Amino acid sequence: MSDELSAIIRAAAHDEAAAAERDLPLTTARLGKFVRDVRRRRAISVAALTAASVTVAGAGALGLSLLWPNASTEIPPLPAATTSSPPEPSTPAPSASTSPTVGPTPSPTEEPSPSSTPTTPSRPTTAPPPPPTSTTPTVAAPGPVTGVTGWTGGGSGETTVTWEQGADATGYRVYRSDSLTGPFVVAATFDVATGKVTIAPAFINDYVVIWSYSEGALQVVSYTDAIGYLEPTYYRVAAFNTGGEGPLSPVVCATPPGSPYTC
């Protein structure tokens, strides 16, 4: 047995003897016998010696209690061994600097559903061709009629107006008024190509004649109107073609034969 174990046993025996002596004094012979018994068990293992020491101490206490019946039977407990538990490892608090940065959770890429109807590509739209451009050249409206003159007619109540025919005119309109300042309204229309005369509804009961003839190198158009009264009548003439109607001529005045009035 090592010296350290011997020291532990001697200390335990000394503490036990001191406790027993406080409760029940022992004789020198009894204490010496106890020490001799302990020394005889030095060859026993540490576990067996410890159990034997507890048994001897218990038996001694029991024997003493039998020797002294009036003594207290309570056996003082052995001093409890202080067991120190190892400190629990402290868990370090997570530091703000070591906490992982949590970024935005990436949204999964949506895949087209197999049940979705595929989009049919639209057909390219073909713009309709532009309408054909008319090949008819633009015709300008005729200019002012020239050579307009008012005359006394050849018959009773007739007045006559003549003018020179222009090369760019396909027809003429004669405007008539009872006043120099108007208003002037269409009395008749003459188509040069067909010679047709159209009388305006307001003058349908009047006798109107228009014709074209040559006078030397000039082509002349003559308008005769049987108005039926003696007052002066005022006229203006305009030429037209497919491009429109030209401006009105200056005002001319005419009176029937035998009229006391003059223009």
- List pLDDT tens digits, range 14-37: 777 676 666 555 556 665 776 676
DSSP H or E run through 163: strand 158-164
The burial class, CB within 10 Å (0-12 / 13-18 / 19+), for 236 is buried
Q: Evaluate whether the domain defined by 149-254 bears CATH number 2.40.10.10.
A: no
Model confidence at 108: pLDDT above 70: no
Work out whether the CA dihedral 97, 102, 103, 104 comes out positive or negative: negative
Q: Comparing 2 with 226, which gets the higher pLDDT? A: 226
Q: Where are the domains of the chain?
A: 3-67, 149-254
The phi and psi torsions of 198 (rounded to 5 degrees) equal: -115, 120
pTM, to two decimals:
0.49
3-state SS assignment for residue 222: strand
Tell me the one-letter amino acid at 170: T
Residue 207 has which token pair? 């006798």
- List pLDDT tens digits, range 221-239: 999 988 878 899 999 999 9
CA distance 31 to 46: 22
